[in-house]
Homo-oligomer: A and B are copies of this chain.
Amino acid sequence: MLKIAVAGASGYAGSEALRLLLAHPGYGKDFEIGSLTGGSNAGNRFGDLVPHLPQLADRVLEDTTRDILVQNDAAILGLPHGVSAALDLPENMYVVDCGADYRLKNESDWDRYYGSEYAGHHTYGIPELPGNRDLIKKSRYIAAPGCFPTGATLAAVPGIAAGLIAPQISVVSVTGVSGAGKKPAVSLLGAETMENARAYNVGKHRHTPEIRQNLQAVVPDNEDVYVTFTPVLAPMKRGILTTVTAPARGSIQDIRKAYEDFCAAEPFLLLLPEGQQPETQSVRGSNMTHIQVEEVDGMVVVTSAIDNLTKGTAGAAVQCLNLMLGWDETAGLPQTGV
């Protein structure tokens, strides 16, 4: 039985990964929950920090160190940016890193948006990207995608890869507040975020180059990709509703056909029937991406809904782990929303 550790277990990404693992059909059969680690929370009873997972309530958080983590066969890392690179985990472990450390292939993008030392890159954890599923199966270390890039990439790639949407896209993503993590800050208080909408990091958000990188990988003829990305914080716990606006390069019939073809074989992509728009509540707690595509006056608007903590983070992590470990890709990943 494999031991799967979760680092940053009391954070939103870590505890969501644990929720999924506890309901995974392989739990207790193919794997057990290994080390649970924390940063400043190390030493605390897990149930005092995370009351919704009673099965693990009496566990005590260990330190997030290499020594602790190497006692496990696999690990899902829900750590602040920069921490995972410093851990330098051994190559015989299966690792899914939910942080940004190894996502970007272009060092100058890293320098511009992150500024810290560049750590390199690892296989990127969106199996739905053309060719990526096989890479993931052969990998040992996965850079799980950011939540916004997941919603934007899955919305834009089918049309852009088919050459039917111009790669000059404007992305606006409406997100729930858990995306900012579990750190205390006045601007993230309930009293500041309820009954409120505000854009933030306009033109500067670190997920921008990640979206561009994903689209550049699929655009025909290596045409240059332009992305403007604006995140908007909305008063909800979870969920991302992404709108992608871009010039059409084909009829809506052809565009729709491209999305149908792309989604047909994917267990976690659902192109909704015409007229039905994605809603974040429909994918809450599930690993699904709901998608719709409309055309008006020569412009395409693609909308997608994901749960930022599930398909946007921990669900993608489990999906990648399933692939790496040779298990059913969909195991433990709900297709139904709560």
State the A residues within 8 Å of B (CB).
12, 19, 22-23, 47-48, 51-55, 170, 172, 174, 176-178, 180, 182-186, 188-200, 202-204, 226, 228, 230, 232, 234-241, 243, 245, 270, 272-273, 276-286, 288, 290, 292, 294-297, 299, 301, 303, 305, 334-338
Contact indicator B196/A232 (Cβ below 8 Å): no
- CB-nearest residue of chain B to A51: B282
Q: Are A301 and B203 within 8 A (Cβ)?
A: yes
A52:B283 contact, CB within 8 angstroms: yes
**Contact status B197-A19, CB under 8 Å:** no
Contacts of A285 in B (CB 8 A): 285, 338
Query: A336–B19 contact, CB under 8 A?
Result: yes
Chain B residue at smallest Cβ distance from A201: B277
Identify which of B54, B183, B234 contacts A197 (C-beta below 8 A): B234
User: Does A338 lie within 8 Å of B336, measured CB to CB?
Assistant: no
Cβ–Cβ contact A190 & B277, under 8 A: no
In the complex, what's the smallest C-beta–C-beta distance from A58 to chain B, in angstroms? 9
Q: Which residue of B lies closest to A52 (CB)?
A: B337
Asked if residues B272 and A202 are in contact (CB atoms below 8 Å), the reply is no
Give CA–CA (A183, B189) in the complex, Å: 8
Option from B54, B236, B277 in Cβ contact (under 8 Å) with A270: B54
Specify the chain B residue showing the minimal Cβ separation from A272.
Answer: B51
Q: Is the CB of A243 within 8 A of B270?
A: no
In the bound complex, what is the Cα–Cα distance between A284 and B188 (angstroms)?
19
Contact of A277 among B180, B200, B290, B299 (CB under 8 A): B200
Q: A235-B235, A236-B235, A285-B285 are in contact. Are A186 and B190 (CB under 8 A)?
A: no
- On chain B, the residues within 8 Å of A245 by CB distance are 170, 172, 228, 230, 245
Task: State whether B336 touches A23 (Cβ < 8 A).
Answer: yes
| Top 10 A-B residue pairs of the complex, sorted by shortest distance between their CB atoms | A203-B296, A52-B337, A190-B193, A184-B184, A197-B241, A198-B279, A177-B190, A196-B281, A172-B172, A52-B282
- Taking a contact as CB atoms under 8 Å apart, the answer to whether A237 and B190 are in contact is yes
Distance of A191 Cα from B179 Cα, bound (Å): 9
Residue of A19, A199, A226, A281 ringed by the most chain B CB atoms within 10 A: A199
Most buried by B among A226, A295, A336: A336
